[in-house]
Amino acid sequence: MSFQDLAGRVLCAGFPSSERLPEEIQSRLDRDALAGIILFKRNLGTLTGTAQLIDDANRYARKLGKSSPLIAIDQEGGRVARLGAPFLKLPPMRALGERNDVALTERCGRVLGAQLQQLGITLDFAPVMDIDTNPANPVIGDRSFGRTPEVVTAHALAFARGLASAGVASCAKHFPGHGDTDLDSHFALPRIAHERARLDAVELAPFRACRGVIPSIMTAHVLFDALDKDVPATLSKRVITGLLREELGYDGVIVSDDLEMKAVAAHWGIADSAVRAIEAGCDLLLVCSSLTDLAIAEEALASRAQKNEGFRARLEEAAGRVQSLRDRYPVKAMRGPDWENAIATKESLTLETLLGTRPGN
């Protein structure tokens, strides 16, 4: 395997608006040199068109009997939901937390997961495990299940169990906690000044419960003074390897948030951020829109691996962990002749029936 192909196996790529895979993405997938793709609204048209796109992404895997790439999406509910009807329209996670029916939350995850699996999506970047402790937070808010660790932990784990029961991987986000920031890391670099005791009691509490339940965790592009004053969590070996991997004992896949976000891209650039994230202990790196940035990240990782044996070993470890996730959550092997109606039938469990209320109540 070339260094470039090895580097590609830790990258999950987004791409510009299209219902078809760009040639660059298809080429990487066809030689098994890309971990997977992430889909946004800009990539989604008809169900048939999306299914064809996913089938194209799996062309190499199906031909040679290899593991399918990760097919990922952000489908939380509320304002972060890429797929519309006939997929289950969930409210913001806050509504489920306030209702505080853990069985209902798990059922929501199971119904949604069954629909995602039927389409061919294998990884949902949900649930949010951030605790909403700052009313001025511009990015989390009602995406969080609640304002206490107990509520967030119970409902996030339930939602993840629901997804898993349908064959879809979940991803807890955003470690070590994005709930008390007053800046959006898409546009700036937030900082949290809490002492370690506060982080242990609040922000870190839900993530301690992830081991063995949630197969992947996404990092936060946030500076934590008590953990590492110099670099955000995504790029910090103290935070990712020292805290999450060693102290909390988490053994699943660690996913970087999008490396194109200003919190890291504006300070370290794509190339340096990619290398630093792998060195810190991340396994899967998101590059969510630019094919140019994807190529830059790939080249930076390959170049570093070629020059540094220790980095090459870390890259191989990361790729192996991602491969295990791909093996565990394959794309649905075959759609039945009535697969579109199967998705719509699952939608007969509407939000109203799930909640046990009538529309308008």
Q: Which residues pair with 285 in a beta bridge?
A: 11
Q: Give the β-pairing of 75-77 and 80-81.
A: antiparallel
- Report the alpha-carbon angle 82-223-275, nearest 5: 75
My answer on whether omega of the bond before 267 falls inside 30° of 0, hence cis, is: no
Where does residue 160 rank: exposed (0-12), middle (13-18), buried (19+ CB within 10 A)? buried
Residue 230: how many CB atoms within 10 A of its CB? 8
CA separation for the pair 25, 29 (Å, rounded): 6
- Catalytically active residues are 186, 257
Q: Find tokens 């991803």 and name the residue.
A: 171
Q: Could you tell me if 127 and 159 are in contact, meaning their C-beta atoms sit under 8 angstroms apart?
A: yes
Q: Find tokens 């002492």 and name the residue.
A: 195
SS3 28: helix
Burial 12-40 (b: 16+ CB within 10 A, else e): bbbbeeeeebeeebbebbbebbbbbbbbe
